[in-house]
Structure formats: structure tokens, C-alpha cells
Structure 1
Amino acid sequence: MSMNQKGDVVFFNGQIFTSNPEQPYASTMLVREGRIAWIGEQAEAENVEGERVDLKGRRVLPGFIDAHLHPLYLADAEKQIACTFPLVNSIEDIVAEVRKQRDIHGADAWVRGWGYDEGKMTEGRAPTRWDLDKAAPDAPVIITRTCGHIAVASSRALELAGITKDTPSPAGGKIDRDANGEPTGVLRESAKDLVQKMMPAQTLDENAAMLAELSPKLFAHGITGITDLMGRTEPINYLDMYNAAAEKGLKQRTVLYYLWEDLEKNPQMTTEEKCATNQIHIGGVKLFADGSVSGQTAWVDPPFLGEEENDGISTTSEKELLDAAEFAERHQIQLVVHAMGEQAIDQIINTFYGQKGWIADAPSIRIEHAAMPTKLAIQRAAEMGVGFVPQPIFLFAEIESYLNNLGAERTKTTYPVKTMLEAGIKVAFSSDAPATAWADPVNPFVGLKAAVTRTAYNGTDTGQDQRVDVATAIELYTRAAQEITRIPDVGQLKPGYHADFIVLDQDILAIAPETIDQITVEETYMGGQLVYKK
């Protein structure tokens, strides 16, 4: 250990879990200029001087990295009605919440909600325009389904969008109708855009302010590294928006993944924009190979349960995957593909099987969600070095949809995390917040509990043989998430790394796994600085 320097801080008397397999546990850390200069046991640290911070015997972890997130949508969702358990359990509850908002804001303001899941409604169906009209006959209302692919609009909102009995469904979307051909208010995929584009657009500045406001909420959950998996170049360039947010107080280290449809039109990208030591940088190009399990649009084999044969929707082509990969290779960034169903995952694996990756120290190709990989796909993904980024909260929060669409036995085989790890696949955990049916969707402790218990919120078994132990689950949200997102020098507490760490109110490694979601973060540090205190 070198001589002491001014500004050194010694954090001592902690139960530190480092996520570093070579030195998993420690009690004391020396932080110098924002990085860990030394870590080990208190007895070895007697001659270490500096300001001393007593961790009071509490459990310390590296800061969490959410490898698949939608911060702008999450920030926006904070301003909407959360139509999810435990706030909302029925259409009646939605009507009551909409009425409250209408009474506060008047007839001209849009009332927005997110997160409904008809599988959880006591009425057993999705809301319609007529339900929303009961609450706000004169105001435009739009409520987005948990999956983000479907929305329901009130009569006033349909009227503003010019949607009538005679409006045809747009390409790539569907306007649901009743027996008389009247729109029910339910709008699928591109049809929901007809209403969404009538809403007042947010400016870059408004969005940046919203992201800055989200920063302390993420710190309260121990999240120090984030991603945005829906980067756009227009109407607002996300890099500009996030840089503006950083000026307004967004502190998390952030990686952006841009949609291929935008990059194809604007293919320029500078070295500076991709520089991983910048707080905000571009890490990849994003495509979709299918839809969602809950919306029955994942491209599956065998088909979903139900009256008619439905194996979901394929949403990309081999040519598009190859074009996007060529762009990613040229820019030395990742190719990131959303794929849930067996056929969607196979399409990606088969397109690139036998080709060499272009990134030396991380997966060149990431498969997001990876809900239903076949045995062969798992074996080949391991061989190819493809990364998988699943979300443990999905099965936990959306169990009704999985049971309805796949049945109990097949549900247990989805997101086979243990099998993925045993095969040697690089796996990172994430939340995909807010695209899941949970009132606090970004909370890592809900995901960790789901991964170690493989039990849904209502007690349903989601596949005991795919459980992972608590230490592994933490590593998948820290070190492994770093290995996939490539944010430099984070995810472990070891010499040379940034001192990004969190202090918990309970020992996650000692308590009963089913109570992990009750843990709260007492303090969050970034670069050795206290950025959040409960």
C-alpha cells in the first residue's frame, strides 16, 4: 500500500461483497480520487490514514447496472397513472384514478396511464373507450398496456386522432372493433401511434429535466449504471438529450443503444460519441426479431395456447440483421436484438453461426430477453460468445399472461438462466422498466428475489431447477452486467475500479430469499461520493 494522500477516505467495518471472484469478501476499502486504491480486511489496514467512514457492519455491494432499461419511458411513467398491482386491480380502479386526474387537470389535459394487464383485472378483460368515458367523457385519455405494444384510448382521444368506424387499420397495426364495427378504443402496435402523435410533444429540455429527476430515484434503488435500449436520432437525438440531462443532474453512467431504423437513415457516428469513458456514450445498434409473450406476438414454436394456430410475429429479416451487424462491426459497437420466442432466437443464431465476433473483450451480439432458447440455440450461443440479457421480473410480475399463453409446464422452462450459465453463456440481469406489470418495475431487489426463488408474486412456481444462488444473482446485476454493457471499471469493488457502491439495510446474503424484495438501500456512493442517503 502506497503512502497516504490528502483526500483519502477509508470505509471500514463493512460486510463487503465485491463481485470479484478472486476476492469476494472484505471489510475495509481505501478510496483515492474516486477509485478503490486498496480493499481487504481491517487488520491489514492499521497504517492506512484518511478520513474514516464507519459502515456499521452493514452489507455493501457494488452499484447495480441495469443492462436493459428505458429511462425516458420510466421517467415519463412517473407522471402517469400506474395501472398495476398494488394500486390498480380492476377496470373500476382505473376509472377511479382517471376521474381523479381529470378533476385535477381539466378537460383539455391528456390523462395518461401505463401498465394495465387484463390477466390481473378482476373483470378479466382489457378496458375499452366506454370504460374510460365513464371517468372522463370530455377529456382525452390513453392507457398503455404493460407490454408497451397496445394502448386503449377514450372517445375524445379517438376523436382528436380522427379515428372513426370508417378508419382502416394502419400497416403493422390494428384498430379493434366491436360487433357493430365501432372502434373499442383498443389500438395495437402502429395503430396506437395515431393517437400518440396527437399528444403535445416533449421538448429536448423537458425530457432532459425528467431524466435528471429520475437520477435520485435510481440511486434509491442502488442503480449506478444504466442503459437506454430505444435510442433515437430524431425528432430528438438521444445523445444530445442525455448530455443535457447530465448537465441538469443525471449522474448515472449511461450507455445508449440506437434503433437500426434511425441509424440506417443517419449512419454517421463519431469516435467521441462511442467513447466508453464518457458518462453518456453509444454502445450498440438495436433491432427487434419479434414481439412479446404477454401480447402473443413473440415468434414461438410450438404455437401459443388458444383456439387458432398462432406462432407470433417475425419482425426482422436476415438481410436486415446482416446490414446492422456490418454497421456495428465498422463502428466496433454491439448488435443488440430483442428476441423472445424460439424461432426469433434461432433466426439470430443461424444468421451469424460460424462467423467471428468483432469485439475482443465482450459479446459482439446480445440477445435481449432470450425467453425461450432451444437446447441447440444455447449450445451455439455459448460457442459463438453471444450474450443473453433476461429480466427475472417478467415471470414474477406477468405470470398470468405466461400461464394463459404458454401453460404451466412450458412457463417453467422460459428464461432458463441456470442452464444458460452452465453452458458458459455471458448473462446479465436487467429490468426492462417500465415495460412490465409491476408498480415499481426498476427495483433490482424484486428481480433478484424472482431469480433466486423462481416463484411469481402470487406464489406460482416458475421453474425451481432454474434458480440461481443469491451471490450469483448479485453478480449478474453487477460484474456480469458490466461485462455485457462494457462500462469501464465498474461492477466490482477492486483496486483501480470506480468506488461505486451501495449500503443495504439488511444482509441480502443472510436473510430468507423470499424477503429480498423488502431490502432498501440506505446509501449510494459513486466515485466514493455519497450521492443518496435514505
Structure 2
Amino acid sequence: MTTFTNGRVFTGESETAFASAFRVVDGIVDWVGDAADVTDADAVDLGGRTVLPGLLDSHTHPALLAGTAAAAECFPPAVLSADDLVRVLDAHAATISGADAWVLGRGFDDTKFPEGRMPTAADLDRIATDRPVLVWRCDAHSAVCNTRALEIAGITAATVDPEGARFERDTDGNPNGVLTEIAAVNVVAAFIPAPSRDEQIDAIVAIGDELASRGIVAVCDLLSSRIDRPLETFRAAAERGLRTRVALYPGWDPEAPLGELTDDDRTGPIRIAGVKVVLDGAYSNRTAWVHEAYPDSCDHGLRLVDDADVLAAGDWARRNGVQLAVHAMGDRALDRVVELFEDQEPWLDGIPSVRIEHATIVSDAYLARLGSGRMSFGIATHTVFFFAEYDGYEKALRVEQVPDAYPIARLYAGLEPLALSSDRPATAWSGADDVMLSVEAAVRRRTYNGIEFGAEAAITVPQALLLYTSRAASLSPLEGVGRLAPGLDGSFAVLDRDVFTVPDDEIASVRVAETWIRGERMFLR
């Protein structure tokens, strides 16, 4: 039993719910109240610091991180040009032994490059011509590889584009190394040697430690099938010390149907919680599926799967008692999700049966439609996207769309199952899972370079934190977390400054000083 006292404890019960003391017994909170009522001489004195319930990242990718642990980070602000990208990858290549070893990177954002173009094989050939090089774009939907990687994958001028994707080409029709959308990337990435299972397990444990340093105690992995046997692998990581709760959402692949789930698969701190379908691309590279063409083009983005596959994934989720999560960014993709499911009967109680991931453009009419159908919907969205990727959104959004772009205030008022999240590493910023960065962006509605982005959609600090705690918990089956309340996990974060009173432009500088998971301190800064 441990009693904690003399804190400013945000319980997550509401925007104004604070306490000053609480008690944890066998990893579970059994009392929350006033420090004046504490009589335990051994109580831990919090020194007046601010305490939050353990934070939830409702859309992130630890399996992807574990599967690409060998990749160099190429995120802004460290990489802001093709020359920066080559420099970082070249330095990384020097650390890799083996003449045939792949040189991998992730996270570049070409919209921030002064030349305003995607890097190509010609750029990456400056790193190596005798071994393969591949670097994923920040959205994780597209990538660039060098000439050697194209040769290994057998991609030539005669190669047919995969459905819903493209091998970009030069003016002579030859592939230029740019791989647009997941199906094209996978043709090349299939040849990358996978890390060993032991390496993946160790990487997941390390990711858990990093999450704890952010105050994050539970996550939803929204494409857990990026590694083999994800449930088994994550549970093995728990045996090695992973304490993070993890809800796994494997991707839907009609060529490799998912098996039926057992009760054991669906229960426990690490569980299969749903299935994910990627319906369209991303706004930052103008592949999100949209009604009206992108500015100065006739391009409507990419639809990546057809109705039959989306419905089949929904049937599997219903049959197995888990959620369907649909990646939908463009307004046309968002409309299609509702059209396919609004008249269906929900199959889950307490949480939405259908989650919409990202949901970039949400009008008042669309939000009303989400609430009026028979189906229960929820949304996992972001503020780090417009903060980090403004350069891409500036080129992709029409002026009249900006008021409906990531309208967090509207969503907060109109949809209970709602979360902010990081999408790490598919976000164009180093440290995208820093919750305080997202909270500041939600409050200030300003981009990384200070541009105002839809100020009317701003929310308060308590509201933003609820979207990382109790409101986030209402979106997915991450049981026992999201609030500091009797009967729930004794998991919480202690901050080094009071996020509720610091100036708005200093919120992102607030750091987690300690993270406790089920009554055990797992991180001390």
C-alpha cells in the first residue's frame, strides 16, 4: 500500500476534477481525496507537483517501430532538405556492417525541402550504389529507394503499378525510386531482412521505456501486423519487462485472411482489440481520397481498398467481438465509411464498434451524421499533424476547408468517444508522441512555424488532457486506465511544471518527472 499526498491531482473524471491525495493498494487505486485526511506517516509527499492519470496514445505504431528498429530517424527539424537526408543516411550507412546490408531511414517530409520535391533514387545513389537504400516518408504511406533496391525488387519500366499505388517514373517512363502508397512500398520492403524475434522483443521493451518517459501507460497499435505474430511477440515482451497496456489492431489483408479469435486473444493487458483497414492515403502528400480535386490539379487522391474488403473486415470484427478501425483522411473516404456502416447494428457495448482514424475534414453536418445513425462511431485524431505538416496541408487543403480541418473543439463537444494521438512514427516530427506538444497545439492552434491554423477549433488544457485520459479510454478497450479513481489502475504521471498554469506557449516544454504504472515507479527523470 502506498499513499500519495500533497499533489495537484487531475483525476480525469471531468475538466474540473482535482484531488490532493490518493492511495494505491496492490497496483489499484482504492481511495482518492484530500491531503488533509491523510494519516499515513509513510505517505509519499508529491511536493505540490501536478499529477495526471497515466496517459493513453490511442493511435501509434510500436510494431512498426520494432520492425524497423534499424532505420535512422530522418524527421524534421533535423532533416529539412534532400542534402540533409543524404547526410543522415550516409552517416548511418557507415555504422552498418555487411556489404549487402540495407540502409534504412524513416520520417522525412519533402514539403519542408527548399527544392519542393520528393528525393529520388538519384539522391540515394549518392549514399550507395552497391547496396540497397530505402527511407520511408513521414506519413509511412510512401518511401524512396535507390537504384540497387529497385533492381533487387525487379522493378523496371515494364513493371505494372500495384492497385491503389504507384511506382513513380521519370520523363522516359523509368522508375525513379519514389514509391507512392503502401502497396508500392511493400514490393520493395518485402526484400528487407526482418529483425530476429529477439531483436523485436527487445525493441518493444525499449519502446515501453520510452513511452513511460512520456507518461504514456497504454497504447493502441494501429497496424500491429507490421511484425509476425504480434500478440505472441508483445506478450513475450511483457515477460521481459514491458508494462505498457497494448491494444493490437492487425491490418486487414484479403490475400491473407485473419484467423478467428479466442477469448484469450481478446483479453488481458495485451490483447487483440480490432482490425484496421486503410481506406485512403494522406493529405500531406495529396493521396487522401477527396471529393473535389486538390488545388491546381485534377487529382482526387487514392482509394486503397474497395467496399467488399471494408465490409469483409467489418464482418470479421463483428464475428470476433472487436472493433473495426478505418483509416480515412479525405472527405470522400470519410463519407464512404459512414455510407457503409451507418445503418448497421453496432456489435460492441460501451465502446464504438467502428473507429475512424485521423478524420481530417469534419463538418458540422458530418458530425451530426455520425451521431444519428444506428452504428456507434468514435474518432482518433491529431493536432500534431497540422502542427508538423503544415507545409503539406497548405498545398492540399482548399481555403474553405480549413475551418473543418481537425476541428477539435467541434469534435470535443459533439462526440464522446474521442482521442488525440501521435501516429508515431508516421508523423513529420521527432518526438511526435510528446503529449505536451499535442496539448499545446490543441490550445494554441499554431503550426511549428507559428502560423495560426483554425483558431476557432482551439480547446483548453483540461479538455486536451481528457482526450489523452478518460475520453480516450472511451474510444477503445484499454481497461482500467484513463482516470485516477477507486478500482482503476494506480498508473499516473508526475509533471515537472504545472501544465494548467504555465503560459500557453510553454506547454510543450513541460516534462514528465516520474511515471508510475500500477503502483510501481517505472520512470524517474
TM-score by length of 2: 0.94
- Pairwise CA distance, 1:268: 1.4
Kindly indicate whether residue 239 of structure 2 is the aligned counterpart of residue 247 of structure 1. Answer: yes
Q: Please point out which of 422, 440, 443 is paired with 1:449.
A: 440
Superposed counterparts of 1:131-280, under 5 Å: 131-189=123-181, 190-232=183-225, 236-261=228-253, 265-275=257-267, 278-280=268-270
Pick one of 11, 34, 42 that aligns with 1:41: 34
Which residue, out of 488, 491, 515, partners 1:497?
A: 488
> Alignment partner of 1:14: what SS?
strand
Q: Work out whether 1:24 is the aligned partner of 2:29.
A: no
User: Does the alignment pair 1:300 with 2:290?
Assistant: yes
Q: 1:125 aligns with which of 117, 120, 123?
A: 117
Structure 2 residue 306 is the aligned partner of structure 1 residue 314 = no
Contact 1:95-1:132 within 8 A present in 2 as well? yes
Contact 1:90 1:122 in 2 (8 A): yes
Give, in whole Å, the separation in 2 of the partners of 1:263 and 1:445: 40
Which amino acid counterpart does residue 18 of structure 1 have in structure 2? Answer: T
Q: Which runs of 5+ in 1 are unaligned?
A: 1-7
Provide the aligned C-alpha RMSD in A: 2.0
Partner residue in 1 for 2:517: 526
CA contact (8 A) 2:82 2:113 kept: yes
User: CA offset at residue 264 of structure 1?
Assistant: 6.9
Matched AA of 1:133: D
CA contact (8 A) 2:362 2:404 kept: no
Once the two structures are superposed, residues 242-262 of structure 1 have per-residue CA deviations (whole angstroms, 9 ceiling, x without a partner) of 111112222101101122326
Question: 2:315 maps to which residue?
Answer: 326
Who is 2:90 aligned against? 99
The alignment partner of 2:249 has SS state of: strand
Counterpart in the other structure of 2:472: 481
Q: How far does residue 208 in structure 1 lie from its aligned partner after superposition? A: 1.5
Distance 1:134 1:263 in 2: 37
Alignment partners' CA distance in 1, 2:130 and 2:321: 52
Q: Residue type of the partner of 2:397?
A: L
Secondary structure of the residue that 1:432 maps to in structure 2? coil
Alpha-carbon separation, structure 1, partners of 2:255 and 2:439: 34
Q: 1:80: which partner in 2?
A: 71
Equivalent AA in structure 2 for residue 269 of structure 1: L
Q: Percent identity?
A: 36
Q: 1:171 to 1:331 in 2, by over 3 A?
A: closer
Contact (CA 8 Å) 1:299, 1:342: kept in 2 or not? yes
Residue 453 (structure 1) shift: 1.1
Q: Which residue of 2 aligns with 1:469?
A: 460
* Aligned residue number for residue 4 of structure 1: none
When the two structures are superposed, what TM-score results if normalisation uses the length of structure 1? Answer: 0.93
Read off the aligned partner of 2:453 and give its amino acid letter: T
Quote the offset at 1:61 in angstroms: 0.3
- Distance change (3 Å), C-alpha of 1:513 and 1:57: same
Q: Does 1:357 align with 2:346?
A: yes
| 8 Å CA contact retained: 1:478, 1:491 | yes
Secondary structure of residue in 2 paired with 1:338: strand
What 5-or-longer segments of structure 2 have no aligned partner? none
Question: Would the aligned equivalents of 1:402 and 1:411 in 2 still touch at CA under 8 Å?
Answer: no
Give, in angstroms, the shift of residue 464 of structure 1.
Answer: 0.6
Q: Distance in 2 between matches of 1:519 and 1:343?
A: 38
User: Counterpart of 2:434 in structure 1: which amino acid?
Assistant: N
1:51 corresponding residue in structure 2: 42
Amino acid paired to 1:274: R
